[in-house]
Amino acid sequence: MRNDIEEVLYTEEEIQAKVKELGDIISKEYEGRNPLLVCVLKGAFIFMADLFKNITIHSEVDFMAVSSYGASTKSSGVVKIIKDLDVPVEGRNVVIVEDIIDSGLTLSYLIDVLERRNANSISVVALFDKPGRRTVDLEPDWKGFTIPDAFVVGYGLDYAEKYRNLPFVGVLKPEIYTT
């Protein structure tokens, strides 16, 4: 698996240090407000787990899975809920936890859904941001790293469901996805 990686962009240590920083920020920001952290499956589950361990205030987690309709229709902006939250978000201070923001379509859909359910507040923390690919005008409240428009995998990010278990983030060798 490691041989499929051309270049490591962020080491495990760099990621862990950044996740701790983000945990500190959220802990300060939400002190006394019992935030509900919403993990966007599947990509965000590893970031969520590490982030949550670095949050030092009372807080809760829930999980949501979404997918784009069809194969290559991501740009259509049509997203479908595969698994919904277990708890109502009305009146809650929601923090959406994403691994990466690309076009912004997944996130803009989610924000829309949670707004209609009358969350008290909605913010977004994303470990990685690819602003070069944005089609929706959307910025995370907090982000870990801004990354170039390369094919990155690891730390939750997949290619055809593989590589999520790499503890670092790297660029996939082109021969892996062009064959």
Please report, as ranges, the residues that interact with Mn ion according to CB under 5 A: 43
Stretch (H or E) spanning 93: strand 93-101
Contacts of 17 (CB under 8 A, 6+ apart): none
- What amino acid positions are annotated as catalytic residues? 102
Which of 15, 98, 152, 169 touches ligand PRP by CB under 6 A? 98
- Count of residues touching Mg ion (by CB under 5 A): 1
Judged by DSSP in three states, 114 sits in helix
Contact set for ligand PRP, span 115-154 (CB under 6 A): none
- Cα atoms found within 13 Å of the Cα of residue 179, Cβ hemisphere only: 6
Cis amide bond preceding 53, omega within 30: no
Residue 100 is a binding residue for ligand PRP (CB under 6 A): yes
Q: Which range binds ligand PRP by CB under 6 A, 5-13, 39-47, 50-58, 168-176?
A: 39-47
Binding site for ligand PRP (CB under 6 A): 40, 42-43, 74, 98-107, 158
